[in-house]
Every structure is written in structure tokens, then in C-alpha cells.
Amino acid sequence: MKNLKLFSFLLILSIGSKAQTTDSPGQSNGFIGVLGGMTMPSGNWTKVAYNDNTSGYAGNGTIFGIEGAYFFSKYVGIGGMVSYSTFNFKGLDSLSAGYQNSFDVDKTTTSVNGGYSMWTFMPGLYLRYPFSDKFSVNAKVLAGFTSTTTPTITCDVFDGGRDDGNFIQQACTANSFGYMAGIGVSYNVLSWLGINLHANYLSCQPDFYMDNINRPANVGRLITEYNQPLGAMSFTLGVAYIFAKSK
Amino acid sequence: MKKILIYVSGFAIVAIAVMVLSIASCKKPETIVTPAPPSNEFLTTVIFRCINSVAPFDTTTGVWRELNPSGSLPPDTSKAILNYKKNSTYVCNIYILDESKTATDSLVSTNFNINKLPSTTVNVTTEIRARQNYHLICMNATGGIATNWSFIRTDYDTNNPPLQVGLNDNVTTLATSTGRLEITLHHQPNVKNGTCGPGTDDFDVFYSVNIQ
């Protein structure tokens, strides 16, 4: 219901804006550019509690991508964003200590090959409010496809001077629907070049099914499925090529 | 002014490039080594108690004890003796204690009650039960009892499929004989497969066995 109200509001705004004159400030037809920044995950997947199977051990990361939009009126446009994000693995020491305690062994050596990675392909609606030819505030609501990959976690167990072998939680990729909402400011440095500063919130809920290798004993943290909402706030800086103004 | 803004744009481009490059560095593998924290708990005492399934007054309890954790002194095997009646069936339990902080006059005897231990004695059996998925007790009878003493395991862990643990057994005796019973507790983290081979030994104790 909330989504319907939002859509109706945007539709009315879009139709209304078509009546505006075309020589008011900040009316380029659109833009296409690159962006980069930092990502901050939120939700259960940031937890680092060994005994909580909703813990995802996700930490801050980086994002880069391509974004573009075409404005068919002063305020409203359509566009999209393709982005690639990474999320560091945080709390590896806690995970390794958890394994050591669960198996009650002399030593565990736990490794992770990077962290999470996420591709997003999201079209959607872009809104802007120009204050001058150069400066505008904008917002966007996007929805589309996400593809997220979990890290590979390897734990080697040592006890009594013997290596009891390692077990592996293998990397897993899952696709899901996702949405993104963002606000930001844009400044046109030149008639064809602009800088965008945006804050975006992304949410999706992929259902991961992990393969675990060499887990003969039912001991310790064993994740075979992970289905938690993955939220992430991103702060990006971008440069964009600005399409010519409407005549 | 325009120049400054162009510089700002250039800075933005460089900043994005740096961020993209930083992604590669963030994907570096990471490894953590976690040693076991210092522990103050020992397995000093192993008790094997068997109760005749049809005559409960026929109970035999063997106590194997080694109070010196370093192992520099020989274990006390004076009470590590099991006396069975021939052609009988017994329900048997293994109890594992840490009596390293218990005064000598309070050490458990063969008449002990597992529910009434001195406060300084730790019942390690509960820990082994909690960690049964990677522990296995093995028993090996030698001498005359090799063919006259046998056991059937009655407790299993929660592995899939369930594997034997060995804290509870049913023992069957046949003809009169004597021999030696070796009991070992195997710690098999991530390698438990139902056999005694993998892992390391948490204890290795012996009892003299008489079947009369």
C-alpha cells in the first residue's frame, strides 16, 4: 500500500512537471557517469556472534558502478544503476575462537578469502529539484536484480600435535530481487561535467545454500542455508557526463 | 573559479579510481590462528561401575586415579579392579572426574555417588556428554576375559548417522576367567567416524578384571 501511494505521488509529480517551462535552471536531459564510495552493511549479516546462525560477519566495504538517467521533465526521469560492492569479512578472530572452543582443540587456523561481493542491476525512477543551473538535490527509487556471493571459510583443526584436517564452508552465490533508495546532491562543474554525491540504501534477501566439505561430525557452527535481509548504506562520489539541455 | 572546479572534477575521478583499486586490496585472504586458552581442568579419575541387571546388589566399581597431572608419578590402580559374576549381564557407566583440587580424605571411593561429589571435584562426564559428537570411548579386553567378557554400546551421539559414545554400556560375562580391560577416551574433532583410530587420547586406563 505504501508503495502504491509513493508510485501515485511520483506519477502526479511527473505529469505536473511536464507543464513546466524548459528554460528554468538545471534542466539537462540527463547524465551518465561512474561512481565509487564506501558501503556499510546493516542487519543480522553484520553480527559476529558465533552461536547465532543469523550472524553474517559482514563489515564495511567499497562500491563502484555506473549510473545514468534521462529526465523527461524538470523533476522526473528514469534511469538505472549497475554497481559492484564488496563487504569485508569482520570478526574472523571470533569465528576462529568459536571453532576452537566447539571442537575443544589445541589450535584452529581459520581463513577467509576476502568477503562478500554483490552485483546490482537496478532501473528506476529519478527525481531532482534544481536550485540553479549548476546545483540540484535529487533522489531515486530503484528496484531490480542482485547477485551476492559469500566468502569461502576454511578452518584447520589441530589437536595433540596432529592436524585433524580442515573443513570448508564453500562460497555460494544467490540471486534475488532488491531495491535501493537514495538521496544526493549534484553540481555541474561544466556544462557537460557534473559531480554527484549520494547516499543510498540497498536491501535484498537472497537465500544462500552453502556446501560444507569435510564435516563428518555434527560439531560447532555449521551453516547450510542463510536467508537473512542484507541491508547496506552506501556513500558515493561520482562524476558524470551531462547531456545537453533541452531547447 | 572554473579551473578550481575542473580540479575538483579531476580529484573526483582520481578518488573513484582509488576506491576501485582499494576493492582489489580488500579481497585479500585473511587467516587467524587461535590457540586454546589455558585450562585448569584435568582428567584425574576414571570410574567404571557395573550393576547386575537382575541383581542390583551385585555392583562392581573400579577406580583408576592419577592425581598428578604431569604424570611424573604412577597412577593409583589399587582400586582399579572389577569383579563380575559369570554368565551375567551388567549395566555399566563410566564416570570421569577431576579431583586435582580435592583433599585426599575426600577423594571418591568405590561406594561413591555421582550426585554427591565433594564441591572441589569436577564431574567431567557432563562435559564429555556435551561434547559427545567428537568423543569416543573404546574398550579392549585381553587375557582370559578376551572371550568371556563383551559389551554392547547403549549410547549414541547426534551425528548423522549416530555414532557410538561409550559412557553407557551393557556388559555380558561368560565363563570364569581373569584379564585386563583397557579403556581409552578418544578426542576426535572433525574426524570421528565410529572407529578408535582417529584423533588423540584424552585418557588411557587399565582395570584388572575377575569373572567368578
The answer on pLDDT for B89 being more than 70 is yes
Q: Confidence class of residue B19 from pLDDT cuts 50, 70 and 90?
A: low
Digit-coded pLDDT (tens) for B115-147 = 999 999 999 999 999 999 999 999 999 999 999
* Average pLDDT of the residues in A128-154: 95
Contact B33 A96 (CB under 8 A): yes
A14 sits in which H/E element: helix A2-17
Digit-coded pLDDT (tens) for A167-216 = 999 999 999 999 999 999 999 988 889 999 999 999 999 999 999 999 88
Contacts of residue B28, defined as CB under 8 A and 6 or more positions apart, other chains included, come to A114
Residue A61 is placed in which grid cell? 566495504
List Cα–Cα distances, B188 to A163, B118, B195, in angstroms.
11, 30, 10
What are the residue ranges spanned by the domains of chain A?
A: 32-48+61-242
Digit-coded pLDDT (tens) for A19-75 = 343 344 445 789 999 999 999 999 999 999 999 999 999 999 999 999 999 999 989
Round the average pLDDT of chain B to a whole number and report it: 89
The answer on pLDDT for B70 being more than 80 is no
Our CA-based measurement puts residue B162 at a distance from the nearest CA of chain A, in whole angstroms, of: 9
* Average pLDDT of the residues in A155-160: 90
pLDDT at position B189: 87
CA geometry: angle A235, A240, A244, nearest 5 deg: 140
Q: Does B21 touch chain A (CB under 8 A)?
A: no
Residue A26, sorted as left (phi over 0), alpha (psi -120 to 50) or beta, turns out to be left
Round the average pLDDT of chain A to a whole number and report it: 88
Residues of B in contact with A50 (CB under 8 A): none
What would the DSSP string read from start to end of chain B? Answer: -HHHHHHHHHHHHHHHHHHHHHHHHHT-EEEEEEEPPP------EEEEEEEESS-TT-EEEEEEE---TT--S--EEEE-EEEE-TT-EEEEEEEEEE-TTS-GGGS--TT--TTS--TT-EETHHHHHHTGGGEEEEEEEEEGGGTTEEEEE--B-SSSS--B--SEEEEEE-SSEEEEEEEEEEE-TTT--SSSSSSEEEEEEEEEEEE-
* Average pLDDT of the residues in B167-189: 96
DSSP code of residue A19: T
The answer on pLDDT for B75 being more than 50 is yes
Our CA-based measurement puts residue A222 at a distance from the nearest CA of chain B, in whole angstroms, of: 12
Whether the complex's predicted ipTM is more than 0.90 is answered with no
Our CA-based measurement puts residue A112 at a distance from the nearest CA of chain B, in whole angstroms, of: 5
Residues of A in contact with B133 (CB under 8 A): 217-219
* Average pLDDT of the residues in A151-167: 91
pLDDT at position B158: 93
Whole-model pTM: value is 0.80
Residues of A in contact with B187 (CB under 8 A): 104-105, 159-160
pLDDT at position B4: 62
pLDDT at position B1: 59
Digit-coded pLDDT (tens) for B26-63 = 567 888 888 887 665 689 999 999 999 999 999 999 99
Q: Does B159 touch chain A (CB under 8 A)?
A: yes
Contact B159 A216 (CB under 8 A): yes
* Average pLDDT of the residues in B81-87: 97
**Sign of the four-CA dihedral B160, B165, B169, B174:** positive
The least confident of A129-143, A193-207, B11-25 is B11-25
Residues of B in contact with A106 (CB under 8 A): 35-36
Contact A111 B29 (CB under 8 A): yes
Q: Confidence class of residue B113 from pLDDT cuts 50, 70 and 90?
A: very high
Contact A103 B190 (CB under 8 A): yes
Q: Which residue of B has its CA nearest to A96?
A: B34
Q: Say what percent of chain B tops pLDDT 70.
A: 85
Question: How is domain A32-48+61-242 classified at the CATH fold level?
Answer: Porin (2.40.160)
Q: Which residue of A has its CA nearest to B4?
A: A189
Candidates B5, B9, B32; nearest CB to A96? B32
Our CA-based measurement puts residue A198 at a distance from the nearest CA of chain B, in whole angstroms, of: 13
pLDDT at position A164: 87
